[in-house]
Amino acid sequence: MRAVILAHGAVALASVAAASDARQCEACHSEIVEGYRGTGMGRSMRIPWAGQPTGVYRHGHSGTTFQVSPAGDGVVQEVRRGGLSARYEVEFVIGSGNAAFGYLVRAGDALFQSPVTFYTELGRWGMAPGMERDPAPDFTRPVTPECLWCHAGRPRHVPGTVNSYEDGLADPPAISCERCHGPPDRHLREPARGSIFNPASASPRERDSVCEQCHLGGVIRVLNPGQTFGSFQPGRRLEQSWSVFLGQPEAGAAEDRFQVVSHVEQLALSACAQGSGDRFWCGTCHDPHQAAADPKPYFSERCVECHAEGLSEGHAGLGSDCISCHMPRRRSHDSGHSAFTDHRIARRPASRPDPPPPSELRPWKPVPGVLARRNLGIAHILQGQEQGSFEMIRRGAAQLRDVLDQFPEDVAVLDALGTALVMGRVPREGLRLLETAVRTGRARALQYNALAAARLELGDKRGAEAALEEAIRLEPTLESSYRMLAKVHRDAGNSSRERDVWLRLRGRRPRLLDPQLRLQQRGSAPAH
pLDDT tens per residue across span 300-315: 999 988 887 767 777 7
Q: Is the pLDDT of residue 417 over 80?
A: yes
Burial category of 428 from C-beta neighbours within 10 Å (exposed 0-12, middle 13-18, buried 19 and up) = exposed
Question: Which residues sit opposite 191 in a β-bridge?
Answer: none
Burial category of 346 from C-beta neighbours within 10 Å (exposed 0-12, middle 13-18, buried 19 and up) = middle
Looking from the CA of 16 toward its CB, the CA atoms found within 13 Å total 7
In order of 377, 402, 409, 419, 426, the CA distances from 423 in angstroms are 15, 19, 21, 6, 7
d(CA 174, CA 401): 41
Q: ∠ CA(204), CA(371), CA(404), 5° rounding?
A: 170
Name, in order, each residue with C-beta under 8 angstroms of 343's C-beta and a sequence gap of 6 or more.
263, 266, 267, 270, 327
d(CA 143, CA 166): 14
pTM of the model: 0.91
Q: How confident is the model at residue 153 (pLDDT cuts 50, 70, 90)?
A: confident
Q: How far does the chain reach from its first CA to its final CA, in angstroms?
A: 26
d(CA 302, CA 122): 29
Nearest to 329 by CA among 149, 174, 94, 120: 120
Count the residues in the chain. Answer: 528
> Directed axis angle between helix 445-457 and helix 479-491, to 10°?
20
% pLDDT > 70, the chain? 90
Amino acid residing at 363: P
d(CA 416, CA 380): 9
Min mean pLDDT across 115-124, 321-330, 440-449 is at 321-330
**Bond into 172 cis (ω within 30):** yes
Query: Phi/psi of residue 214, each to 5°?
Result: -120, -20
For residues 207-231, average pLDDT? 95
Q: What is the pLDDT of residue 319?
A: 61
Q: How far is CA 411 from the centre of its chain?
A: 21
Q: Is the pLDDT of residue 365 over 90?
A: yes
Q: ∠ CA(432), CA(436), CA(441), 5° rounding?
A: 155
Return mean pLDDT, the chain.
89
Q: Is the pLDDT of residue 221 over 90?
A: yes
Q: Is the pLDDT of residue 353 over 80?
A: no
**What secondary structure letter does DSSP report for 205?**
H
% pLDDT > 90, the chain? 73
